[in-house]
Structure 1
Amino acid sequence: MAAATTGATDPSPIVQTRPASTADEPRPLPCVVLLASPGMGHLIPLAELARRLAVDRGFAATIVTLTNLSDAAADAAVLSSMPASVSTAVLPAVALDDLPPGVGFGTLMFELLRRSLPPLHALMGSVAGPGPAAALVCDFFGTAALPLAADLGVPGYVFFPNSFTLVSVMRRLAELHDGAAPGEYRDLPDTLRLPGCVPLRHAELPDGDWRQDDPLAWLPEGFLERTKSRGLAVAGWAPQVRVLAHPATAGFMSHCGWNSTLESLASGVPMITWPLYAEQKMNAAILTELTGVALRPAVSREDGFVANDEVAAAVRELMEGEKGRAVRQQARRLQEVAARARSPEGPSWRALAKVAGKWKAGLRNGD
């Protein structure tokens, strides 16, 4: 993720691209505005929703991204593949330099979206072009835009493509907060313990500032040179869907984010789980213990760290072992399930058709 823009130094108007209208269109297409918070994991699902609305449901769509915290080149690479009836808009940077140092990521994102409401309001007045605005769709960081949509008479929706495990995590965190002692974390009389989380001493943690501008700095010394004839290291955002769909891809070590999980299953690729944060540990448990499409490296050390030989053993098992064979077969079965869900008679197709029908009915009825 790119560094935050600390000041609104560019007062230029919102940047927009619009599809050209065609002469044989009987009337303007209804337009859905999709507000994406920064980050590829947020943009890609909304972009795919815009694609499906345009290609399958007869809508125009405008995908709105932000300047702050965004990688403009990466965003453009994703959005360049959109169909002609999907346009894009970029909201200008807003000032964030008054926020306290070390502000939490979630707080930063919610505040960024809140401060972006004035340019979004200006955009909403013209973004639908000749067609009526059918809905404003945001992800869960952009919920501050829902009252704005209501003020403009546009239905507002939250697009939440995560697994329900994240809902469970968020609810549990709220319960933990309600039962916690007052004050800050540093004031707690004892270590805060969460199930499945091993406390680490500060000395055991890597230096987070060490060569932080180099995305490959965490690799062992000489790793790239030793492996250059056998593999490829990609420092930027990789076209993951295309990589997973390639017949040469036989396994995927995943952090178990829900986007990556669904993309892997849609291609029938089995996984090795390496969860990091949020609900990913719960996703890893679902993949390994419930659905059987993934293996997890064993933890043999008392301190909870996974040794390199355990990672190697998991890879060998996935590629060659009996457990790996069962996991590969189950991944192929779930690939078929995913394909049926997306087919014209499948639940995903029908769910989107229902929402699209509701939006179009609302326009006809003036709701």
Structure 2
Amino acid sequence: MVELGKLLLHHYNHKFSITILLITDPLDTPNTTSYVHRITQTHPSISFCHFPLVSVDTSPTIHSRAAIKFEFIRLNSTNVLHSLNEISKVSTIKALVIDLFCTSALPIADELGIPTYYFFTSGASVLALFLYFPVIHKQIKQSFKDLKTTDILCPGLPPFPASHMPEPMLDRDDPAYDYMLYFCDHLSKSNGILVNTFDDLEPIALKIITAGSCVPEEITPPIYCVGPLTANPNESTGNDCLSWLDMQPSRSVVFLCFGSRGSLSSVQVKEIANGLETSGQRFLWVLKIHGGEINVDLDVLMPEGFLERTTGRGLVVKSWAPQVAVLSHESVGGFVTHCGWNSVLEAVVAGVPMVAWPLYAEQHVNKAVLVEDMKMAIPLEQREEDGWFVTADELEKRLRDLMDSDPGKELRERSWKMREMAVAAWRKFGSSDTALAKLVEVWKHPDKLIRQI
């Protein structure tokens, strides 16, 4: 949301002010507070409205972490109403932009006569799936987690196993499933959907969505592709891993990183280490282990002698690295990724080809599209029955495919061409620049909203 706010302010010369409604989460860290403070200092036109803390029932009747989170967000509806009323006393609210999980705010804004838009932070392919999910819900009566031989068939997407649906959708008996159905059903009831993608990246899904195939019984709202929206790589400097990359040959390093939730078991860590060593590739590996322990002794965790044998051609970093800056570095030639959409876009913008290792959320859907439609990633064979496990031999093979083979060379060339398309999308009159201009024109002249719908 902050990056979207920056984008609006940059392109339209601060003609808007941005207020971000910020839920107070008991799990907020000092990093959250310092980030918010930094943004308010560097971007005075962006302000934050902090909600008071609400309590949520965590009893066993709520079955999952996702369901608890969704309920926590819903309980903030009163805070949303109060904040919108207060802001309206001193400003004209041109639009409310909400996340998918904040759908409970949509009817509130509707009552107040405020146009409401979704900012869909995954890609158009997942948007197609979510728009179509109410149809799938009527077609398939069992929990997806129990369907081992059934494929999901969704317009605009390659078929994929039902068990690869996003986690909150897997179990019909979990309240999270009902929440997701509610969220997805209301996407088509908004005034428009902003998507963090660009036309040339996902033409198949976008064509299907705009044709109305994903919501056959509703009117598809206007779609605004305003991506790729990623963080600025120049905001991360002075990190030790960047200094190490400075000493490596061009396009020679494989970067491994599995996102904020991508922790690994000790057994999987050893398999990755063995695969990296036998592949012979240079590597930068951001390591998180189950439990989030950052003071772990790498000599104990890794195969005996691994760190010594790979000195000079490999670097293991515990917990965190500046991913955007790393992917943008001249030395990085490949990316082993969990297929989170932010990570995918950051690789696209940097022109770095991928090895797809999805772990959770919508990442298995992203993998299917990356491999089969975009042809920008090499898939890894994973053992679903024990947590998407990947063997050392499999990782070694795919790294060699990426870095040393003719198909890998073609993948690198395709990734570089897509990078150029990503840059072109934000040039003047590029597809994303034009989409944002149309959206802002609607916000400036609300009468056009009625005609558009």
Report the TM-score, using the length of structure 1 for normalisation: 0.71
Code of the residue aligned with 1:73 in structure 2: it is P
Per-residue deviation, residues 177-226 of structure 1 (Å, max 9, x unmatched): 435568xx6xx9x9432445598xxxxx979xx96353788x99522994
The sequence identity of aligned pairs, in percent, is 30
Whether the aligned pair in 1 keeps the contact of 2:125 and 2:369 (CA below 8 Å) is no
Which of 290, 296, 301 is the aligned partner of 1:222? 301
From 27, 32, 44, the counterpart of 1:84: 44
The answer as to whether partners of 2:265 and 2:290 remain within 8 angstroms in 1 is no
Q: Greater CA deviation, 58-67 or 133-142?
A: 58-67
Which of 334, 340, 346 aligns to 2:418? It is: 334
Does 2:326 match 1:243?
Answer: yes
Counterpart of 1:116 (choices 56, 63, 76) is 76
Q: State the one-letter code of the partner of 1:54.
A: L
The structure 2 residue matched to 1:145, chosen from 90, 94, 105, is 105
Match in the other structure for 1:192:
147
| Corresponding position: 1:62 with 2:19 | yes
> Displacement, 1:155?
1.6
Aligned mate of 2:437, from 353, 356, 364: 353
Q: CA deviation at 1:234?
A: 3.9
CA pair 350-327 structure 1, distance change in 2 beyond 3 A: same
Give the Cα–Cα distance (whole angstroms) in 2 for the partners of residues 144 and 336 of structure 1: 39
Q: In the superposition, relative to structure 1, how do residues 55 and 302 fare at CA in structure 2: closer, same or farther (>3 Å)? A: closer
What letter is aligned with 2:301? G
- Between the aligned partners of 2:389 and 2:448, the Cα distance in structure 1 is 59
RMSD: 3.9
Tell me how far apart the structure 2 counterparts of residues 168 and 253 of structure 1 sit (CA, whole Å). 25
Contact 1:269 1:332 (8 Å CA) reproduced: yes
Take 2:409 and 2:26, find their aligned partners in 1: how far apart are those partners?
42
Could you say if the C-alpha distance between residues 95 and 78 of structure 1 is closer, same or farther in structure 2, counting changes exceeding 3 Å?
Answer: same
CA contact (8 A) 2:294 2:318 kept: no
Give the SS at the match of 1:295.
strand
Matching residue of 1:294:
377
Q: Tell me the equivalent position of 1:271.
A: 354
Preserved contact between residue 371 and residue 378 of structure 2 (Cα < 8 Å): yes
Deviation string 1:11-33 (CA, Å, 9 cap, x unpaired) is xxxxxxxxxxxxxxxxxxxxxxx
Q: Is 1:258 aligned to 2:337, yes or no?
A: no
Provide the rounded CA distance (Å) in 2 between the counterparts of 1:310 and 1:104: 32
Q: Is the 8 A contact 1:169 1:278 kept in 2?
A: no
Write 1 or 2 for the structure with the bigger share of helix. Answer: 2
Aligned partner letter, 1:356: V
* In 1: Cα distance, 2:79 partner to 2:339 partner: 35
Query: TM-score, length-normalised on structure 2?
Result: 0.58
Distance in 2 (CA, whole Å) between partners of 1:179 and 1:289 is: 25
**Partners of 1:301 and 1:65 in 2: CA distance:** 36
Task: Classify 1:290/1:98 alpha carbon distance in 2 versus 1 (closer, same or farther; 3 Å).
Answer: closer
Alpha-carbon distance change, 169 to 92 in structure 1, aligned in 2, over 3 angstroms: same
**Count of matched residue positions in the alignment of Structure 1 and Structure 2:** 309
Change (3 A) 1:301 1:213: closer
Letter in 1 for 2:354: M
| Residues 69 and 216 (structure 1), Cα distance of their counterparts in 2 relative to 1, 3 Å cut | farther
1:308 correspondence with 2:392: yes
